[in-house]
């Protein structure tokens, strides 16, 4: 692992690090904010998964999360959204390839050799963090925006007892029924749609639910509302009687202005679960 940068931030340290990834067969970069409390012992971890076209940098610089995480004594992890670099498959479209890993393990050519973001986020990066930093992996929660909200929800429901809470900002909530999903799942996983269900939070909610609290925020003026399909997830939560809250925020769009507005709520929500 190599240190790309470290900056003092709200009493803690915002770092950027790179390492050789076995899961993705390339070098990967991630951001990690450690609050001042990490100097005295291990702190709980909140994962933030970003959306289409993003890198580790977007939320790290735009979401305003560090101030609230410092106050609550939480570490924040900002993984990249896909493998990158020479020899890594890509596509001309913004919603497939580099910047659009969809947090799955690809099984199809040309994606399979590198696009294993599920294994990267679920296994490899946590192991690296536990080895190198003062983080408590027995206390983890997860959140994300758009494609990252999809990833956060599917990981949380598929890995029982891993995360104490899950939240999402404008998640891609029903990808098997959306153009933001069907295209990518077919490319990465193949045309057998039975393999897609494990990566659809609406279907997972109907089948499994989540063994903890859930918080979803969605902007009513989101320009991608028809692609996100939040109503499907809301209905599945109600039918499952899932512990949680779904909030439609009037007038907000899909941008980081929306994310940063409600970030304090999400950090407090996760801190309550992580410290309870």
Per-residue model confidence as pLDDT tens digits over 209-258: 999 999 999 999 999 999 999 999 999 999 999 999 999 999 999 999 99
Distance, CA of 52 to CA of 8 (rounded, Å): 28
Q: What is the pLDDT of residue 20?
A: 98
Q: What angle do CA 111, 54, 36 make, to 5 degrees?
A: 120
Q: The tokens of 258 are what?
A: 């929306």
Assessment of whether the complete model's pTM goes beyond 0.95: yes
Q: The tokens of 111 are what?
A: 């994606």
Whose tokens are 């758009």? That residue is 146
Catalytic residues: 146, 222, 254
Residue-wise DSSP of 55-123: -THHHHHHS-HHHHHHHHT-EEEEE-SS--STTS---SSTTSBTTB-TT-B--STTTTTT-BHHHIIII
Q: Which residues of the chain have pLDDT under 50?
A: none
Q: What is the pLDDT of residue 160?
A: 95
Buried b or exposed e, range 118-137, using 16+ CB within 10 angstroms: bebbbebbbebbeeebbbee
C-alpha gyration radius of the chain? 17
Altogether, the residues listed in the chain come to a count of 276
Q: What is the pLDDT of residue 147?
A: 98
Q: Which domains does the chain have, with CATH numbers?
A: 2-270 (3.40.50.1820)
Distance, CA of 56 to CA of 248 (rounded, Å): 27
From the list 47, 61, 55, the residue with the least C-alpha distance to 9 is 61
């Amino acid at each position: 692992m190599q240190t790309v940068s470290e900056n003092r931030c709200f009493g803690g340290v915002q770092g950027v690090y790179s390492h050789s990834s076995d899961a993705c067969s390339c070098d990967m970069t991630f951001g990690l904010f450690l609050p001042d409390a990490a100097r005295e012992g291990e702190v709980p971890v909140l994962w933030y998964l970003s959306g289409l076209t993003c890198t580790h940098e977007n939320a790290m610089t735009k979401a305003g999360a560090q101030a609230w995480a410092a106050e609550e004594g939480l570490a924040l992890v900002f993984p990249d959204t896909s493998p990158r670099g020479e020899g890594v498959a890509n596509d001309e479209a913004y919603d497939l390839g580099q910047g659009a890993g969809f947090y799955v393990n690809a099984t199809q050519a040309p994606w399979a050799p590198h696009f294993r973001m599920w294994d990267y986020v679920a296994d490899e990066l946590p192991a690296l963090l536990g080895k190198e930093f003062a983080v408590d992996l027995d206390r983890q929660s997860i959140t994300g925006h758009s494609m990252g909200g999809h990833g956060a929800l599917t990981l949380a429901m598929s890995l029982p007892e891993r995360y104490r809470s899950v939240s999402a900002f404008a998640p891609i909530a029903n990808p098997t029924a959306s153009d933001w999903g069907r295209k990518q799942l077919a490319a990465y996983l193949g045309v057998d749609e039975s393999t897609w269900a494990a990566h659809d939070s609406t279907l997972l909610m109907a089948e499994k639910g989540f063994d903890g609290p859930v918080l979803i925020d969605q902007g009513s003026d989101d320009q991608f509302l028809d692609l996100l399909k939040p109503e499907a997830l809301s209905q599945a939560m109600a039918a499952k009687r899932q512990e949680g809250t779904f909030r439609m925020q009037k007038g907000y769009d899909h941008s980081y202005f929306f994310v940063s507005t409600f970030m304090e709520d999400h950090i407090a929500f996760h801190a309550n679960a992580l410290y309870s």
